[in-house]
Structure 1
Amino acid sequence: MDEEDDVFLDAEEDLEMENGNDSPGKKSDGISLTQGLYEAKKAIDMFFNNDFEGARDLTYKYRDVSIYHALGYGTFNYLKAVMTFEQEHVETASRVLSESIATIQNFRRKGGIGDMMKGKDYNDMTETEVHAELVFGECLLLKAMLTICEDENLVSFMKAGLKVRQAYISFKECWSILHKRDWSNDKHKEHFEGGVRLGVGTFNLLMSLLPARITKLMEFVGFSATKEVGMKELMACYRNTSCLRQFLSSLILLGYNLFLNTNMGKHAECDKRLVEEILEEKLTRYPNGAFFLFFKGRYEMICGRCESASLWYVRANESQVSWPGFQHVGCWELLWSAFFRTQWREALVYADTLVKESKWSPCIYSYLKAAIYSQVPDLTEEEAEDQKALMAAVPKLKQRIGGKSIPSEKFAIKKAEKFSSQNNRLLLPAMEMIYLWHGFSILVQDFKLMENFHNIILETRNQMKNIEKEDECLLNLLEGMCLRNMGCPLQAEEKFQNVLSKSNDISMDKYLVPFTMVELATLYMEQNDLKTSKDLLSKAKTMTGYCLQSRLHFKIHATSNKIKAIEKRAESGTVDEGKEEFHDASTEDDLGLDIKPDKPRLKSGSSSAHRFTRTISDCTEVNPHI
């Protein structure tokens, strides 16, 4: 199989249906491709030096006669829209992107009967036509992602899917051009090749992250992808430092390693050396660039250095004031940094800012602020009233995307309803959010953070009299996570089994059972009891009727892949050099539960238990509360 087939594994598609039937007017002469590329690079430098308006103005001038100016102007408007989420900016970006697509369409090669009869000869295309095909696919992707924000209904969702498919076909065509064209007379092959590898790599990487049930559907409609190909192509673009789109590959690689891996329970797969290399290079070039200062803060965060992370986030926010929406993203991260350090009063400041200023998810912001109040001792009367008002407002702030509610907002609404039904009380709701938002991957990086978290759980348990069974299950799940990550597997297993034994007593927080089951499966996987782990994952996968179901399915998918990797290493005789120390996630549907858990399976003298570096007595020495 050649390289082309290795990247696009699906059946050949005819691109004729995508070729310019709706292109407005006659192709413009425009400015030269060389000038367009030069000014695009200049605009990128302006953008990463925080001159956002300057970059947008530079691309505006020739937006209707140059494919790269059209792409740049559309991109900058798109970024502003997704940062602010203001409807006015979304509508403007949508209009600009439609105009950009129309401009680019004028420069694309028009297919005719001759092409269909004798096949395409890519050497007949001008260099501008070749680049126009690539830029067309890039603009379509941006338009697809914005379509959902324009009108959050099922029709918009379907339109976005069709645009993604159209962009995919365009990138596939570009891949053929890259490998079949004679480039000896072209000046700008490196920019085209970088763009193609960037697009192909991004499609492959993101699609490979989807659970099996989704990827099977995607393959049915013509998509196919592998992570290995995705990373290979993205790295090829990143290593080509003279390529116009090298900066984009840097952003995607940073986003993948610093956000996607952590949020999908694959913290150990973060390529820290690559992240450090990218950040060093970009911060040297753009020392005050808000984006790379922000990513530096995120890197400090996933390494467990939360105080340092906060300093970098503050620097990122102070480096520019043009885009308040970007500052809100930094504010969100600052909130979580305060969460991990259990600095609840500090977290309140950031939550209050988001509630008042950001429009991304008022429902989540309101719930988070109210949840923080539950962790703060000695609330004032005014604060207690504010908490009640926030919880009461949560159900009214629900949004819909693609005609469906957002899972995290559905969870917040259920918790707000539980708050009201329990006489304005929730147990450790902010710490519960830390678990559900994959926070243990951060806590495990610093034993003091984990120990502090564990002590709060123990103190809460000691202070409570007549604990409700559902509250006890939450405490056991959180304590089990602490014990597992502190190297105490036997005690962790006992806590997880305790939750499963009370499954029939859980009526509101139904997510507790499947989530605990997956955590127990992960514990057994770390102990090399792969059969039991797979059985638990299979059982958890069949459960329905609870919040955040899709999130848990991503976790099940990631854990299943780890088990396959362990089995593959065992077959090849490769030694497993270690375990990943963190996992989290979530899922949704009618729990058919009749769970009778076994007694703890891990024996202190068994071969599966000896791999842990800490014993129970070791833990007790460090933390006498255990």
Structure 2
Amino acid sequence: MALAAAAGRPPPDLAAALDECMEAMNSFLCNQFSKSLEKLQPRTKESMYHALVYATILEMQAMMTFEHDDIVQAGQTMKEAQEICQRFRRKSSVTGSLTGLVSKADSFTEVELHAEVCYAECLLQRAALTFLQDENMVNFIKGGIKVRSSYLIYRELSSFIQSSHCTAGPAHVHLEGGVALGIGAFNLTLSLFPPRILKLLEFAGFSGDKEYGLQQLHEGATTLNLRALLCTMLLLCYYTFLTFILGIGEDDFTEAESLLRPYLIRYPKSAIFLFFAGRIEEIKGNISEAICRFEAGCSAQQAWKQFHHMCYWELMWCFAYKGMWKMAYFYADLLSKENRWSKAMYVYMKAAFLSMLPPEEPRPFGESEVQLFRQVSSFKQKIAGKSPPTEKFAIRKARRYKGSRPVPVPVPALEMMYMWNGFTVLGKQRELLEGTLETLMQAEKKLQESPVRSGSATITTWCPTRCWSSACCTWPRAGARRPSRCCAEPGTTTRTIPWSPGRSSGSTRFCPGSRRIRRRTAWKDPAPPKEPCPAAEKSWGGTGLWGMESPVVPPPAPTEGGTLHFQ
């Protein structure tokens, strides 16, 4: 009924609506989240841009809270925004025309073109909510259909604004910004898919050109338009998270800092930009400065606690890099109680940090790491119908504590840090590497003193600690290879293992025995030898790049039948 009543009123002027939405976004960046929504809400039933921005803010909140009710509410609001956009669209949609938008450019008004780009954005955001909310295959397919429809609209609009038929109106810069956001986001996201999947997507009509996607997003971020903030946030996420975690970028943060600098000048207390500023300092190895940024982001506002949770996650890792395990546990405990994104991961990290403390040291709140490890599997969840890989890893490791005789993981916090590519941060500061190496030397000494156990559990216990010890001792400077520590005697041959996401760029050299071994003679490699192992030559009593002494631990000895025992 509200939609029917609003349909009889004339739509507000497009330029005026865009100006009001820009003011609302300005309030949002000043941490005035409620004021921003109050500015938008009165016209959400009559203005497509008011409805879209209002629904976008609610979706951001829902994704951070991960509460079912918030996701449902955001989805319903986005559906209503899509209906508002549909009212302003031309009856025959762009994707339904065989000749495309370019040949019919003269018949589309400026309002109808803006309605198309807003409609495509609504489809894309509704698809994202569908993947988060529903786990069944039917809804997953429906979300995929929405994504394809959105992409086709963006593609037609991109062809139109680049053609000679395009006539720039008063709000043309906002239209270009919307198309740049959509085309850039699609190309950049799809370029991260594995090559085989990307070929299938390109066969289905999608495009995954990373350079073109970055170019489009940069154009959208550097012009004054309504989508500039979203373009900037996508680029910052790419430069500070995706390239770092996947190991596909260089140690150059110029692009991220140049994007962030004007926003920090204009919004020095914005929680969003303080978070990204802290993230840049963190991956540069400036841990103390990063902690100050994250704490400032938490104190900047109290309205949306969800922003605090993002800072808590980074603060947890910052204190882990410094070896302050109780402080890291404190933030993991806060996340496990207040956030719903991945409780299994939070509980696992709590147990991992407690495991790093000396056995005689009292545990905070009287919690036991063994009991926490046993609880991890009960918090398993699915996103887009799949369990997150990090949760699968944590649950698999926590199985070692299920039995009556738990098989402890030597340094679980460092293991998870390595999985998140955190050793790249350690490599930026000598002090961090020295502290981590000392922790690993103590863990190896403890393993030497513990009762010897045979089988695969012995291999999976010793190999990681030696690998990380070598990583600390031989961690190269920027641009060089990162050899992994070998679990073999000097002179053992190696083979090159292809790069995989989560590791440093280039090839990584592993000993043949550092992979899984199933009852065969130790370190016997069927592949022909290629060259001596550089990590092994440095690790047995030598010094690393930083001049630190490498721990000397006796190598494992093979026994009959191929089962490994350590001397």
1:79 aligns with 2:60: yes
SS at match of 1:248: helix
1:288 aligns with 2:269: yes
| Cα separation, partners in 2 of 1:385 and 1:346, compared to 1, 3 Å | closer
1:251-290 matches, within 5 Å, as 251-268=233-250, 271-290=252-271
Contact 1:395 1:413 in 2 (8 A): yes
Cα-to-partner distance string for 1:151-191 (whole Å, 9 max, x where unaligned): 22322322222111111111111112212364446111111
Contact 1:156 1:402 in 2 (8 A): no
Give the aligned residue type for 1:443: L
Residue 562 of structure 2 is matched in structure 1 by: none
Residue 475 of structure 2 is matched in structure 1 by: 485
Measure how far apart 1:24 and its partner are.
12
- Aligned counterparts of 2:189 and 2:158: Cα–Cα separation in 1: 18
Give the aligned residue type for 1:256: Y
| Cα separation, partners in 2 of 1:435 and 1:600, compared to 1, 3 Å | farther
Measure how far apart 1:388 and its partner are.
3.1
Residue 217 of structure 1 is matched in structure 2 by: 200
1:62-211 matches, within 5 Å, as 62-111=43-92, 116=98, 120-180=103-163, 182-184=165-167, 186-211=169-194
| Cα separation, partners in 2 of 1:599 and 1:376, compared to 1, 3 Å | farther
Contact 2:278 2:294 in 1 (8 A): yes
Contact 2:48 2:118 in 1 (8 A): yes
Measure how far apart 1:583 and its partner are.
11
1:473-512 matches, within 5 Å, as 473-486=463-476, 492=483, 495=486
Residue 249 of structure 1 is matched in structure 2 by: 231
More helix by percentage: 1
The sequence identity of aligned pairs, in percent, is: 31
Residue 322 of structure 2 is matched in structure 1 by: 341
Contact 2:127 2:146 in 1 (8 A): yes
- Aligned counterparts of 1:54 and 1:401: Cα–Cα separation in 2: 32
SS at match of 2:531: coil
Cα-to-partner distance string for 1:205-259 (whole Å, 9 max, x where unaligned): 111111112212212322122111112112222232x222222221111111111
Contact 2:271 2:297 in 1 (8 A): yes
Measure how far apart 1:348 and its partner are.
1.2
Give the aligned residue type for 1:218: L
- Aligned counterparts of 1:36 and 1:221: Cα–Cα separation in 2: 37
Contact 1:201 1:231 in 2 (8 A): yes
Residue 394 of structure 1 is matched in structure 2 by: 376
Measure how far apart 1:267 and its partner are.
4.1
Measure how far apart 1:35 and its partner are.
1.1
Measure how far apart 1:428 and its partner are.
0.6
Aligned counterpart for 1:624 among listed residues 549, 554, 557: 549
- Name the stretch that deviates more: 73-82 or 184-193: 184-193
Give the aligned residue type for 1:162: I
- Aligned counterparts of 2:530 and 2:436: Cα–Cα separation in 1: 24
Name stretches of at least 5 consecutive residues in structure 1 with no aligned partner.
1-22, 502-516, 521-531, 538-551, 564-581, 585-589
**CA RMSD in angstroms, aligned pairs only:** 3.5
1:554 aligns with 2:501: yes
Contact 2:134 2:385 in 1 (8 A): no
How many residues align structurally?
Answer: 524
Cα-to-partner distance string for 1:537-562 (whole Å, 9 max, x where unaligned): 2xxxxxxxxxxxxxx85358x85xx5
- Aligned counterparts of 2:29 and 2:228: Cα–Cα separation in 1: 13
TM-score (norm 2): 0.84
Give the aligned residue type for 2:524: K
Contact 1:141 1:163 in 2 (8 A): yes
SS at match of 1:61: helix
| Greater relative CO, 1 or 2 (CA 8 Å, sep 6+) | 1
Contact 1:191 1:244 in 2 (8 A): yes
1:11-30 matches, within 5 Å, as 29-30=10-11
| Cα separation, partners in 2 of 1:127 and 1:27, compared to 1, 3 Å | farther
Give the aligned residue type for 2:355: S
- Aligned counterparts of 1:289 and 1:415: Cα–Cα separation in 2: 39
Measure how far apart 1:497 and its partner are.
5.7
- Aligned counterparts of 2:132 and 2:209: Cα–Cα separation in 1: 28
Aligned counterpart for 1:309 among listed residues 290, 305, 312: 290
- Aligned counterparts of 1:391 and 1:164: Cα–Cα separation in 2: 39
- Name the stretch that deviates more: 159-168 or 326-335: 159-168
| Cα separation, partners in 2 of 1:115 and 1:93, compared to 1, 3 Å | closer
- Aligned counterparts of 1:490 and 1:228: Cα–Cα separation in 2: 25
Give the aligned residue type for 1:624: E
| Cα separation, partners in 2 of 1:592 and 1:202, compared to 1, 3 Å | farther
| Cα separation, partners in 2 of 1:591 and 1:189, compared to 1, 3 Å | farther
Contact 1:486 1:619 in 2 (8 A): no
| Cα separation, partners in 2 of 1:407 and 1:85, compared to 1, 3 Å | same
Contact 1:344 1:376 in 2 (8 A): yes
SS at match of 1:401: coil
SS at match of 2:347: helix
Measure how far apart 1:600 and its partner are.
7.8
Residue 29 of structure 2 is matched in structure 1 by: 48
- Aligned counterparts of 2:540 and 2:518: Cα–Cα separation in 1: 36
Residue 557 of structure 2 is matched in structure 1 by: none
Give the aligned residue type for 2:465: L
Contact 2:123 2:149 in 1 (8 A): yes
SS at match of 2:273: helix
- Aligned counterparts of 2:232 and 2:12: Cα–Cα separation in 1: 29
- Aligned counterparts of 1:118 and 1:332: Cα–Cα separation in 2: 47
Cα-to-partner distance string for 1:361-396 (whole Å, 9 max, x where unaligned): 111111110111100112437766532332222111
Residue 511 of structure 1 is matched in structure 2 by: none
Residue 460 of structure 2 is matched in structure 1 by: 470
Contact 1:134 1:170 in 2 (8 A): yes
Give the aligned residue type for 2:548: N
Residue 437 of structure 2 is matched in structure 1 by: 454
Cα-to-partner distance string for 1:34-75 (whole Å, 9 max, x where unaligned): 111101110110000001111112111111211110110110
Measure how far apart 1:128 and its partner are.
0.6
- Aligned counterparts of 2:141 and 2:323: Cα–Cα separation in 1: 42
| Cα separation, partners in 2 of 1:353 and 1:555, compared to 1, 3 Å | closer
SS at match of 1:359: coil
- Aligned counterparts of 2:116 and 2:374: Cα–Cα separation in 1: 51
- Aligned counterparts of 2:37 and 2:11: Cα–Cα separation in 1: 19
Aligned counterpart for 1:445 among listed residues 428, 446, 454: 428
1:428 aligns with 2:419: no
Name stretches of at least 5 consecutive residues in structure 2 with no aligned partner.
453-457, 511-515, 552-567
Residue 415 of structure 1 is matched in structure 2 by: 397
Aligned counterpart for 1:406 among listed residues 388, 395, 407: 388
Contact 1:483 1:491 in 2 (8 A): no
Residue 524 of structure 2 is matched in structure 1 by: 596
Contact 2:127 2:143 in 1 (8 A): yes
Residue 354 of structure 1 is matched in structure 2 by: 335
- Aligned counterparts of 2:80 and 2:170: Cα–Cα separation in 1: 28
Give the aligned residue type for 1:596: K
Contact 2:131 2:385 in 1 (8 A): no
Measure how far apart 1:621 and its partner are.
7.6
Measure how far apart 1:352 and its partner are.
1.0
| Cα separation, partners in 2 of 1:583 and 1:158, compared to 1, 3 Å | farther
| Cα separation, partners in 2 of 1:225 and 1:84, compared to 1, 3 Å | same
Measure how far apart 1:498 and its partner are.
7.3
Contact 1:441 1:583 in 2 (8 A): no
Give the aligned residue type for 1:325: Q
Give the aligned residue type for 2:116: E
Contact 2:374 2:401 in 1 (8 A): no
Measure how far apart 1:413 and its partner are.
1.3
